[in-house]
């Protein structure tokens, strides 16, 4: 047979569309042509495949070889098509049987010796293949891929993953005369150890900030920490993921699939909330994602986890502005001339900043010597619309010598997380989502205030000139405070606490 057709997967954002790898052999002078919008690394497969076939003990046909990667309008990148191209050549030349290939999908980069090297996006491809098969009349295909990718691919429940280390192993699997094959299905299990987060009991003092972060974790609210250097802002942020509810299987798969696209996923980090802390020199592309072939940025890598931006005013203002839309929508779309890529970006934003360039504005020791106009310009680097999207603005004050000398006396992360989990369960039972995601109608339904609460909120709105968005955010935070107290009604105390959690910059 001079034609063989195999299946593989491309990557387009979070999607992994199916690709048909068609290999045709024809008479004529030996040549190797590849069509179907391949990128440079895909075109270079001809040399890798030729050497791998020879070193695996097979013959490279001395014919005109044409490889078509369909659909033709979908860009193909990376070396993941090496394995299906090599198998297609061997099948089309009759060196391995063709019929069993239709029950499999293939991905893997080949070395010149014929070994299979790991690829990016194995989990995303397996997840897409599994979803395509669910509910379909056709039988589910198995997936053959490099051994190094087996653990992450097998995290997709019920996926049929067959790892291999060399091209020779894969060929032997299909050459088996009894039809059973020689490769074994990989039944990798998710790690049983719980995620290991830094503990909140390490933090001395800061009782008010700890309470506010508990509220933020319970309602998935964004937070800005403001205070002099050395007050524990970064320490508090690093311990924040330990307060969040345990990840569900679906959330863990979503987060792992995004990390798999960048080759950063490790099976040992399964169900660990991502914590991303990009440097303030990061560009907009690094934060949001992009490139000629779009890749996820930091906000997508933080999906279902925490994005921590330290030294917030030091970020380029144009870079910070790109956060505004993903904070509301939970997604980011990267458009290019030929195609568009969508990435999830449902992250919880934590940010930290000093009050002025020297850092000591608001310090009780009066160490700041920055003129008022310099302080105003520094704080003005953060736009009003971005500040308006922050739910909690917290002042983090220096500790006294007595507090520093005393042993830690705060609650552990597990104790706080138990209360957060209870509040989270209340929200899911009431509206099926976190309080931060409530829309206007849901706020009107679930965030009704009594007369005293309305009076307190109305006075604050008039005094601080807060926007309608800030008004709704205060109501969401007040609803979360009430949920932590397991109160069906939002009282004046709940509203007052939500207002107090939004006054950091006003207090400086």
Position 169 in a domain: yes
Residues 163 and 214 placed together within one structural domain of the fold:
no
Inform me whether the pLDDT recorded for 505 exceeds 70: no
The answer for residues whose C-beta is within 8 angstroms of residue 418's C-beta and 6 or more apart is: none
Residues 270 and 236 placed together within one structural domain of the fold:
yes
Q: Give Dmax over CA atoms of the chain in angstroms.
A: 89
Q: Which of 175, 208, 225 is the last residue before a domain boundary?
A: 175
Residues 23 and 167 placed together within one structural domain of the fold:
yes
Position 492 in a domain: no
Highest-confidence segment of 219-223, 250-254, 333-337, 499-503: 219-223
Residues 264 and 350 placed together within one structural domain of the fold:
yes
Residues 17 and 125 placed together within one structural domain of the fold:
yes
Give the DSSP letter of residue 248: P
Residues 390 and 279 placed together within one structural domain of the fold:
yes
Residues 62 and 17 placed together within one structural domain of the fold:
yes
CA 342 – CA 295 distance, rounded (Å)? 10
Residues 156 and 208 placed together within one structural domain of the fold:
no
Q: Which of 126-140, 319-333, 383-397, 424-438 has the lowest mean pLDDT?
A: 126-140
Position 142 in a domain: yes
User: Rounded to the nearest 5°, which phi and psi values hold at 145?
Assistant: -155, 170
Position 261 in a domain: yes
Cβ atoms of 341 and 385 within 8 Å: the answer is no
| Greater model confidence, 268 or 419 | 419
Residues 208 and 169 placed together within one structural domain of the fold:
no
| Greater model confidence, 206 or 275 | 275
302-335 as b/e: b if 16+ CB within 10 A: bbbbbbbbbbbbebeeebbebbeebbeeebbbbe
Using a pLDDT cut of 70, give the percent of the chain over it: 95
488-495 average pLDDT score: 94
CA 294 – CA 442 distance, rounded (Å)? 35
Inform me whether the pLDDT recorded for 333 exceeds 50: yes
* Of 497, 503, 485, 494, residue with least CA distance to 449: 494
460-473 average pLDDT score: 91
CA 314 – CA 103 distance, rounded (Å)? 54
| Greater model confidence, 48 or 141 | 48
User: pTM of the entire structure?
Assistant: 0.87
Q: State the total domains in the chain.
A: 2
The answer for residues whose C-beta is within 8 angstroms of residue 13's C-beta and 6 or more apart is: 294, 334, 340, 341, 342, 343
pLDDT digits over 77-97, tens only?
Answer: 889 999 999 999 999 999 999
Its domain, for residue 340, covers 200-414+503-507
Position 190 in a domain: no
Position 347 in a domain: yes
Band of residue 508 on the pLDDT scale cut at 50, 70, 90: very low
DSSP secondary structure string for all residues of 277-328: ---TT--HHHHHEETTTTEE-HHHHTTTSEEEESSGGGS-HHHHHTTHHHHH
User: Rounded to the nearest 5°, which phi and psi values hold at 67?
Assistant: -115, 125
Residues 361 and 214 placed together within one structural domain of the fold:
yes
Cβ atoms of 282 and 298 within 8 Å: the answer is yes
CA 71 – CA 398 distance, rounded (Å)? 61
Position 231 in a domain: yes
Structure confidence at residue 139 (pLDDT): 55
Residues 137 and 264 placed together within one structural domain of the fold:
no
Peptide bond into 287 cis (omega under 30): no
| Greater model confidence, 155 or 365 | 155
* Of 111, 97, 253, residue with least CA distance to 190: 253
3-state secondary structure of 264: coil
The length of the chain is 508
Q: Which of 140, 175, 210 is the last residue before a domain boundary?
A: 175
Cβ atoms of 228 and 359 within 8 Å: the answer is yes
Interhelix angle 468-484/492-500, rounded to 10 degrees, is: 120
Structure confidence at residue 137 (pLDDT): 42
- CATH code, 71: 3.30.230.10
488-500 as b/e: b if 16+ CB within 10 A: eebbbbbbbbbbe
pLDDT digits over 105-135, tens only?
Answer: 999 999 999 999 999 999 989 988 877 766 5
- CATH code, 333: 3.40.50.300
The answer for residues whose C-beta is within 8 angstroms of residue 38's C-beta and 6 or more apart is: 69, 76, 81
Structure confidence at residue 239 (pLDDT): 94
User: Rounded to the nearest 5°, which phi and psi values hold at 461?
Assistant: -60, -40
pLDDT digits over 3-46, tens only?
Answer: 999 999 998 888 889 999 999 999 988 999 999 989 999 999 99
Q: Which of 159, 175, 191 is the last residue before a domain boundary?
A: 175
User: Rounded to the nearest 5°, which phi and psi values hold at 365?
Assistant: -80, -5
Position 437 in a domain: no
Residues 275 and 354 placed together within one structural domain of the fold:
yes
Give the DSSP letter of residue 161: E
């Amino acid at each position: 047979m001079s034609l063989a057709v195999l299946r593989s997967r491309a990557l387009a954002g979070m999607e992994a569309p199916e690709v048909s790898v068609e290999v045709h052999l024809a008479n004529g002078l030996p040549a190797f042509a590849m069509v179907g919008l391949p990128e440079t690394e895909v075109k270079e497969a001809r040399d890798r495949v030729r050497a791998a076939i020879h070193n695996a003990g097979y013959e490279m046909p001395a014919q005109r070889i044409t490889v078509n990667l369909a659909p033709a309008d979908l860009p193909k990148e990376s070396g993941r098509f090496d394995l299906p191209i090599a198998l297609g050549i061997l099948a089309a030349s009759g060196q391995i049987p063709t019929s069993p290939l239709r029950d499999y999908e293939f991905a893997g980069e080949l070395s010149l010796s014929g070994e299979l090297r790991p690829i990016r996006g194995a989990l995303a491809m397996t997840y897409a293949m599994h979803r395509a098969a669910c509910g379909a009349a056709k039988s589910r295909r198995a997936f053959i891929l490099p051994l190094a990718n087996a653990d992450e691919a097998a995290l997709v429940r019920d996926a049929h993953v067959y790892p291999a280390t060399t091209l020779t192993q894969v060929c032997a699997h299909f050459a088996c005369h009894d039809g059973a094959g020689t490769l074994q299905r990989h039944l990798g299990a998710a790690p049983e150890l719980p995620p290991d987060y830094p503990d909140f009991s390490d933090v001395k003092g800061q009782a008010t900030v700890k309470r506010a972060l508990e509220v933020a974790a319970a309602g998935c609210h964004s937070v800005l920490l403001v205070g002099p250097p050395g007050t524990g802002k970064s320490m508090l942020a690093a311990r924040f993921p330990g307060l969040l509810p345990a990840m569900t299987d679906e959330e863990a798969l979503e987060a792992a699939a995004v990390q798999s696209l960048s080759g950063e996923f490790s099976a040992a980090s399964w169900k660990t909330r991502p914590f991303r802390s990009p440097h303030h020199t990061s560009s907009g592309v690094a934060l949001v994602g992009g490139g000629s072939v779009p890749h996820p940025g930091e906000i997508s890598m933080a999906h279902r986890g925490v994005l921590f931006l330290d030294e917030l005013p030091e970020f380029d203002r144009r870079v910070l502005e790109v956060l505004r839309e993903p904070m509301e929508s939970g997604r980011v779309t990267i458009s290019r001339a030929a195609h568009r890529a969508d990435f999830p970006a449902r992250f919880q934003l934590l940010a930290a900043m000093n009050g002025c360039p020297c850092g000591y504005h608001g310090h009780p020791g009066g160490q700041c010597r920055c003129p008022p106009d310099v302080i105003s310009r520094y704080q003005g680097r953060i736009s009003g619309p971005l500040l308006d999207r922050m739910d909690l603005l917290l002042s983090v004050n220096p500790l006294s010598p007595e507090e520093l000398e005393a042993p830690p006396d705060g609650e552990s992360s597990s104790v706080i997380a138990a209360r957060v989990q209870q509040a989270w369960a209340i929200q899911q039972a009431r509206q099926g989502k976190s309080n931060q995601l409530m829309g206007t109608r849901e706020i009107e339904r679930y965030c009704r205030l009594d007369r005293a609460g309305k009076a307190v909120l109305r006075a604050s709105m008039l005094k601080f000139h807060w926007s309608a968005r800030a008004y709704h955010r205060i109501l969401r935070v007040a609803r979360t405070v009430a949920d932590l107290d397991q109160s069906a009604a939002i009282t004046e105390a709940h509203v007052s606490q939500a207002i107090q959690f939004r006054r950091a910059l006003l207090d400086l």
